[in-house]
Structure 1
Amino acid sequence: MGKKSQRWLLLFLYLSGLFHCSTAYVFWTALVEISYEKSNNVTEDKICECGVYGRNSPLDGASGIVTLPMGDPKGCGSDPFYNRNSSFPPWIALVKRGNCTFSEKINAAKRRGAAAVVVYNVDGSGNSTTHMAHSDADDIVAIMIGNTQGMEVVNLVKNGTDVFMLIDVGSPHGPWMDTYWLYFLSIAFFIVTAASIAYFAFISANRLYNLNIHRRAEKRLKSEAKKAIRLLQVRTLKIGDEEITSDSHMCAVCIESYKAGDVVTVLTCDHIFHKSCIEPWLLERRTCPMCKCDILKALGVEEETKEEISAQSPPEVTVITVTGADNMYEVPLTETLSPDPERHRYDNRAFEGDSEAAR
Structure 2
Amino acid sequence: FMTQLSLLLILLCVSGLVPRSAAFVFWTAWLKTDYYQSSNDTVSKSCECGVYGRNSEVAEFSGFVAVPKGDPTGCSPYTSYDRNSSQEWIALVKRGNCTFSEKINAAMHQGAAGVVVYNVDDTGNSTTYMSHPGTGDAIAIMIGNIQGTEIANSVKNGTVVHMSVHVGNPHGPLMDTYWLYFLSIAFFIVTAASIAYFVFISANRLYSMSRHRRTEKRLKSEAKKAIRRLEVITLKRGDELTTSDAMCAVCIESYKAGEVVTVLTCDHVFHKACIEPWLLERRTCPMCKCDILKALGVEEDVKDDMSTSSPPEVTVITVTGGDALYEVPLNEPMSHEPEQQQHRYDNRAFVEDSEAPRG
The TM tier, using the shorter chain, reads 0.7 to 0.9
Q: 1:187 aligns with which of 181, 185, 208?
A: 185
Q: Is the 8 A contact 2:63 2:87 kept in 1?
A: no
1:302 maps to which residue? 299
1:323 corresponds to which residue?
Answer: none
Structure 1 unaligned spans of 5+: 1-11, 308-359
**Following TM superposition, by how much is the alpha carbon of 1:95 offset from its aligned partner in structure 2, in angstroms?**
0.8
Name the SS for the 1:257 alignment partner.
coil
Aligned to 1:270: 267
Match of 2:101 in 1: 103
2:96 aligned partner, one-letter code: G
Question: For residues 89-115 of structure 1, what are the alpha-carbon distances to aligned partners after superposition, in whole Å with 9 as ceiling and x for unaligned?
Answer: 3x3221100111111111111112222
One-letter amino acid matched to 1:121: N
**What is the TM-score when the length of structure 2 is the normalising length?**
0.74
Rate the CA distance shift 1:274–1:41 in 2: closer, same or farther, 3 A: farther
Alignment TM-score, normalising by the size of structure 1: 0.74
Task: Compute the displacement of 1:224 (Å).
Answer: 1.1
Residue 232 of structure 2 corresponds to 234
Amino acid at match of 1:257: S
Alpha-carbon spacing, 1:119–1:17, altered in 2? closer, same or farther (3 Å): same
Q: Is the 8 A contact 2:63 2:164 kept in 1?
A: yes
Equivalent pairs counted in the alignment come to 290
Q: Structure 1 residue 138: deviation in Å?
A: 4.0
Which among 119, 122, 125 is matched to residue 123 of structure 2?
125
Q: Do the aligned residues in 1 keep the contact of 2:62 with 2:90 (CA within 8 Å)?
A: yes
Q: Look up the SS of the partner of 1:148 in the other structure.
A: helix
Identity of aligned residues (%): 65
SS in 2 for 1:279: helix
Aligned partner of 2:162 in structure 1 is 163
| Partner SS for 1:250 | coil
2-structure distance, mates of 1:252, 1:13: 60
Shift in alpha-carbon separation, 1:29–1:166, aligned structure 2, 3 A: same
Partner in structure 1 of residue 350 of structure 2? none
Structure-2 residue corresponding to 1:284? 281
Q: Could you tell me whether the CA contact under 8 Å between 2:108 and 2:114 is conserved in 1?
A: yes
Query: Residue 22 and residue 197 in structure 1: after superposition, are their counterparts in 2 closer, same or farther (change >3 A)?
Result: same
Please point out which of 220, 241, 244 is paired with 1:243: 241
Residues 64, 166 of structure 1: 8 Å contact kept: no
CA distance in 1, matches of 2:116, 2:147: 11
- Is the aligned partner of 1:47 residue 2:37? no
Pairwise mapping of residues 210-229 of structure 1 onto structure 2 (< 5 A)? 210-229=208-227
1 CA distance for matches of 2:136 and 2:13? Answer: 21
CA contact (8 A) 2:119 2:145 kept: yes
Alpha-carbon spacing, 1:13–1:201, altered in 2? closer, same or farther (3 Å)? closer
Q: How far off is 1:227 after superposition?
A: 1.5
Aligned counterparts of 1:14 and 1:93: Cα–Cα separation in 2: 43
Q: Which runs of 5+ in 2 are unaligned?
A: 1-10, 304-359
SS where residue 256 of structure 1 aligns? coil
Asked if the contact 2:28–2:171 (Cα under 8 Å) also holds between the matched residues in 1, the reply is no
- Whole-angstrom CA distance in 1 between matches of 2:280 and 2:108: 92
1:62–1:116 CA contact under 8 A, matched in 2: yes
Shift of 1:21: 3.2
- 1:94-144 CA distance string (max 9 Å, x none): 110011111111111111222221111011111122222211214212221
Q: CA RMSD in A?
A: 2.5
Relative distance call for 1:112 and 1:291 in structure 2 (3 A) is: same
Change over 3 Å in CA distance of 1:224–1:54 after alignment to 2: same
Structure with bigger helix share is: 1
Higher RCO, 1 vs 2 (CA within 8 Å, ≥6 residues apart):
2
Displacement after TM superposition at 1:37 (Å): 4.9
- Do 1:251 and 1:272's aligned partners in 2 also have CA atoms closer than 8 Å? yes
Q: Does 1:136 align with 2:134?
A: yes
Quick one: which amino acid aligns to residue 278 of structure 1?
I
Maintained 8 Å contact 1:92/1:165: no
Structure 1 residues 262 and 215 mapped into 2: Cα distance closer, same or farther (>3 Å)? same
SS in structure 1 at match of 2:161: coil
